[in-house]
A and B are shown apart, each in its own frame.
Chain A
């Protein structure tokens, strides 16, 4: 069978301009080769900065933001598309090769109806007339399982949900009947329950239309469901390239093995869950405009243990954290900390009460003042709560940096000089500096690459052992819950669905929502998607 796409020894470079130094040429991708046959799917997988999007875009002969394809060939049906001129490449893009971006919300023009945007490429390339194109769009909306396919095209982007938008974008890519589609992390920004629907829809649609695809993601479990072959990338180089079965079941390289085994950690829950530290009783909360977010939420957390709060976006889990911190006073209910009721609002709490509850945010970037050095960031709680200063403070900051497994050489760095994982570690050190009894972790690992995230989780567990601190861990990721939680609270639309020790919450009998949630988490197993789809209703077609 002839190759549809054949990439040979691809080399991509960019020029960086470090201030005060001469411009430097950086090699982003080096010596990457792969083949793709008609109707097959190749998964490109790697951490951020691995060059996977850059490689994906090379299939459209496009270099984003100053990237230049400087070597190798990209053969589409035997023709090197890198050698086509501007006019030549325009007749390939959007006709033979289409692109699905990560954030559909940002990729659609909010001023035009979805239907018009979906058929635009087909009309522009003169592949079909409006009537044919509209008919094809309708067919694709059906295939992709969109609700009310007849009228879906009349809506504007803001009128549909994120999952629907991502499917509409897939329809847009499929509409001109291309030979190849590049999917750039199409489900990364979606909730797990939505992700599985979109994933199933994409898989169904590319099978139905017999289109080949490059599927870019950082989640090996996702790519295992959809692709025939997998290429693992790191620092712009190929680590491993093989069939999905081989890569998942018998990885050859150390790095691939690490990727496969990540998120498999499990921890037994603490047997004794009686010594209560934090107790939330019948809390209702909402915003000033009358929008009520939390309805009658009650849970509790024993000392030195971890309570995971799970739910999809909009379930009210972050709002609950704001209620605990006092940023959003609850309208009803009470919160007890160590047997004493906490004042509802932040203003009413004493410094000591504030000290005992610390917080770690999802985005370490915005959670730290970019104008303060690590020394100042970590040192401030020390002087604020304990009145430390001078050598004693520096000594303690160094200790804390050791505790988070970062050396003292980071003392005078600014956050912009740290990597994502290091930033999150500094944020943890800042929380630890206050010697808290409870740390609220608001999705601290969801913005990080899997291996880095695993490092952070292990650090949190180690710190819990050392200092007996308790965590409230907010997440949407069941794998994390399995790895660290003692008790679990499942939230859905502002209500508590299920609460109890981990073993109880995560084992049957399930209520409908928990069942849906658990079944939606991709597992590192080929054929998992089909298995799940059989047992699971397409409930969230509305997503």
Chain B
């Protein structure tokens, strides 16, 4: 693989993600104002001292957007990665071992999915102490039920192939079979799901923030910022649209990169000669 083989669309995605990550990492240096600092009047229009205007309390929108990138990306990414790790390991184990283990995992998964996600999250988060890692964990566990479904379905298709049988005959353990034989052959659908799930995580996080159980104010997060500024829309103030656009842009960038990775992994010739 060389840099020239990366298509243009993927470059856009990579650059977008890089900007978001830079913002997240160097927020204190990049942001013109503090995260919680009230610097002016409320809902000032863009331009002048405040590049993107101010929010409903008179805080600088750009600064909050930059600080918000931290929490939003961290929580959403951590939750998605965790949910995939959890969902994939469990689903592949279920598909490879079969029998009782498969039944147990699958039925437990059905049970989890039977409870509406949002209500589940609300109850759990209301009971547990409000820590960031608990929030991430709850989101990850709830999302992993969806990953489990897909993971098990695709892994079952691969697990019956003869090369898996050949690996068993060689005496390979389940770990090898899962990670070396099955995983590489299931990456494409799982990557596609990853892009989608990441976007959903951001939305789910903002939903939770909206209901007061996500990121706690005054800490900034993009979903919370939409909520804070939503009333402005009635008065023709577009402050809520800016964090909304940031969420959309990030989701699109992630999906552009995922699309490219998917094309690479779906090629049976090791990505050679692929666009």
Interface residues of A (CB under 8 A from B): 18-21, 325-327, 346, 349, 351, 354-355, 357-359, 361, 363, 366-373, 380-381, 384, 414-417, 430, 434
Contact = CB atoms under 8 A, between A and B. Distances in A.
B252 to A, nearest CB: 24
Contact of A384 (B170, B184, B268): B170
Contact of A354 (B170, B185, B268, B270): B170
Contacts of B269: 414, 416-417
Interface stretch (B122-130, B133-141, B161-169): B161-169
Contact of B170 (A20, A363, A381): A381
Contacts, number: 64
Contact of B273 (A19, A373, A384): A19
Interface of B: 161-163, 165-166, 168-172, 180-181, 184-185, 267-270, 273-275
Contact of B270 (A351, A363, A414): A414
B205 to A, nearest CB: 34
**A-B residue pairs, 4 tightest by C-beta:** A371-B184, A416-B268, A367-B162, A354-B171
Nearest to A350: B171
A361 B169 contact: no
A363 B162 contact: yes
B171 A366 contact: no
Given A367-B162, A369-B163, A19 B274 contact: yes
A260 to B, nearest CB: 34
A359 B166 contact: yes
B272 to A, nearest CB: 8
17 contacts: A19-B273, A20-B275, A21-B273, A327-B168, A354-B169, A354-B171, A355-B171, A367-B163, A369-B163, A369-B181, A370-B268, A371-B185, A384-B170, A384-B172, A414-B268, A417-B269, A430-B166
A321 to B, nearest CB: 11
A20 B166 contact: no
A351 B171 contact: yes
Given A19-B273, A20-B275, A369-B163, A380 B268 contact: no
A471 B168 CA distance: 20
Contact of B185 (A325, A326, A370): A370
Contacts of B181: 369
Contacts of A371: 184-185, 268
B146 to A, nearest CB: 25
Given A363-B162, A371-B184, 15 more contacts: A18-B273, A327-B168, A327-B169, A349-B171, A357-B169, A359-B169, A366-B161, A367-B162, A369-B163, A369-B184, A370-B185, A371-B185, A371-B268, A380-B170, A416-B269
A327 B170 CA distance: 12
Nearest to B267: A19
Given A327-B169, A354-B170, A359-B169, A373 B161 contact: no
A431 to B, nearest CB: 9
B169 A20 contact: no
Nearest to B165: A327
A389 to B, nearest CB: 15
Given A384-B172, A417-B269, A367 B274 contact: no
A346 B273 contact: no
A368 B163 contact: yes
A72 to B, nearest CB: 34
B275 A19 contact: yes
A365 B179 CA distance: 20
Contact of B162 (A346, A357, A366, A434): A366
A18 to B, nearest CB: 7
Given A359-B169, A380-B170, A20 B163 contact: no
A368 B166 CA distance: 8
A413 to B, nearest CB: 8
A182 to B, nearest CB: 33
B166 A361 contact: yes
A369 B185 contact: yes
Nearest to A364: B162
Contacts of B185: 369-371
Nearest to A377: B163
A105 B174 CA distance: 37
Contacts of A416: 268-269
A373 B180 CA distance: 12
Contacts of B162: 361, 363, 366-367
Contacts of A415: 268
A337 to B, nearest CB: 14
B215 to A, nearest CB: 40
A20 B268 contact: no
Nearest to B166: A367
Contacts of B180: 369, 372
A382 to B, nearest CB: 11
A21 B165 CA distance: 37
Contacts of A381: 170
Contacts of B161: 366
